Structure 1
Amino acid sequence: MRGLHADTGYLMYRLGLRSGQLFNAFLQESGLRLRHYAVLRFLATSPGALQRELSTSLGYDPSAIVGLVDDLEKLGFVERRPSPDDRRSRIVVLTETGGTFLRDTDEAGLRVTNELLGPLDPAERETLHGLLRRLAEDGLG
């Protein structure tokens, strides 16, 4: 195991898996998964997005986005509306119900973060967050 723990990429992968498992366990009651949450969280900071924009921004396959948006629309968390720029296109918009769900999950997100980052003091957490943000902005777009 020591060899794997010397590999930063592997450690990031394992931490990502653990984070996903913890968050999915919390979301299980709602029937949603972390991928649904990511769509909702993205839409919370956007006035609406084309499905292809969601796909590009989140790094999900376009066909996966269709299914995720379908699931969220059935729950009333998002709506598809005509795009103001192109009436042939539809944008996905967060509904009030979806926003409420996100606010209700904020506490769970904080609990997951606290469990994962428990061994770090506040300054270390801030440093880690800054570094991860830089990596995500440079490498993930």
Structure 2
Amino acid sequence: MSDHRLLGSDLAADPGFLLARARAVTSGAANARLAPLGLKVRQLSVLWLACQDPGPSQRELSEFLGLDPSQVVALVDELQRRGLVERRAGERDRRSRIIVATADGVRLLDRGLAAVRAAGDASFANLTDRERKTLTELLTKVAFG
């Protein structure tokens, strides 16, 4: 654990602050590992979900990732420009846009996942496997109720 003089502050004991700081630390490490692939965590998240079958709609991406729809549009636009995803009409609602990974997108996802997993291993190195599992369970409760 860090030997920072402010670690004993009330702020350092606030769960919201700790979540935000942990996100900044882990996202920063993951973004650094993703940089050689021309990706950032948010782009990888969209690509990862686009590899699901069936792919998500833009609305589902927005809701699940907790992003404004305009942010999702920009992320999908960039991934589509790079040939990593396609927008397709939804089967049930032709007005809905389903995001589907291309073959190039699937290949890049594999490399991206290896990069973020390596970053995660480094970020969570101080935790046991059991602590990581518990942390994941607790964060899931916070994030999705």
Establish whether TM, by shorter chain, passes 0.5: yes
Shift of 1:46: 4.2
- Correspondence 1:1-141 to 2 at 5 A: 1=6, 2-3=8-9, 4-138=11-145
Shift of 1:49: 2.3
Distance in 2 between the 1:107 and 1:88 partners? 35
Distance in 1 between the 2:130 and 2:88 partners? 43
Distance in 2 between the 1:5 and 1:68 partners? 33
3-state SS, counterpart of residue 80 of structure 1: strand
Question: Once the two structures are superposed, what CA deviation does each residue of 1:38-78 show, in whole Å capped at 9, x if it has no partner?
Answer: 11122223412221221112111111111111110111111
3-state SS, counterpart of residue 67 of structure 2: coil
TM (norm. structure 2) is 0.86
Distance in 2 between the 1:46 and 1:55 partners? 18
Cα distance change, pair 7–104 in 1 and its aligned pair in 2 (3 A): same
3-state SS, counterpart of residue 48 of structure 1: coil
Q: Report sequence identity in percent.
A: 40
Gaps of 5+ in 1: none
Distance in 1 between the 2:131 and 2:94 partners? 48
Gaps of 5+ in 2: 1-5
For residue 47 of structure 2, what is the amino acid of its counterpart? L
TM (norm. structure 1) is 0.88
Q: RMSD in angstroms over aligned alpha carbons? A: 1.5
Question: Once the two structures are superposed, what CA deviation does each residue of 1:65-103 show, in whole Å capped at 9, x if it has no partner?
Answer: 111111101111110112211233332111222111111
